Amino acid sequence: MVMVDSCVYLDIFTRDAQWCYWSSDVLARYANVGNVIINPVIYAEISIRFDKIEELQALLSKDIFEYYAIPREAAFLAGKCFLKYRKRGGKKTTPLPDFFIGAHAAILNIPLVTRDTNRFREYFPKLEIVCP
């Protein structure tokens, strides 16, 4: 079981010239060995590439992708990490979704596949991160 960050999906959906190959390869590798977890934050972030929910759902096979709600424990941890970030002078504009994603993977004790490692490493030091 693994959680895959939104940036990896978006690399694939947009056929990003720099990252599409790595992202496609790592997602396929993990999809072949277990379930890939998607939470509401990841789902919302990747949904921006689609006009209809059915288009996105068609790509997320129920045999591979599993939708998990964010448990209270992860939401609480995300809030605490976000507060720490703000006290260190972090800007409020964009990082809260990352804290939900990192906290959820940490609470589930599963690896997180991402290219955006800095914030995850700093605020979730025990989280296993799969990155380029």
Residue of 83, 84, 120, 125 lying closest to 101 (CA atoms): 120
| pLDDT class of 6 with cuts at 50, 70, 90 | very high
**What is the overall mean pLDDT for the chain?**
92
Task: Tell me how far apart the alpha carbons of residues 54 and 72 are, in angstroms, rounded to a whole number.
Answer: 28
pLDDT over 80 (residue 94): no
Q: What's the total number of domains in the chain?
A: 1
The arrangement of strands across the sheet holding 2-4 comes to: 65-67, 36-38, 2-4, 112-113, 129-130
Domain that holds residue 81: 2-130
Give the pLDDT of residue 116: 87
Predicted TM-score of the model (pTM): 0.88
Count other Cβ atoms within 10 Å, centred on residue 103.
26
The domain that holds 42 is classified in CATH as 3.40.50.1010
pLDDT digits (tens, 9 = 90+) for 39-88: 999 999 999 999 999 999 999 988 899 999 999 999 999 989 888 888 88
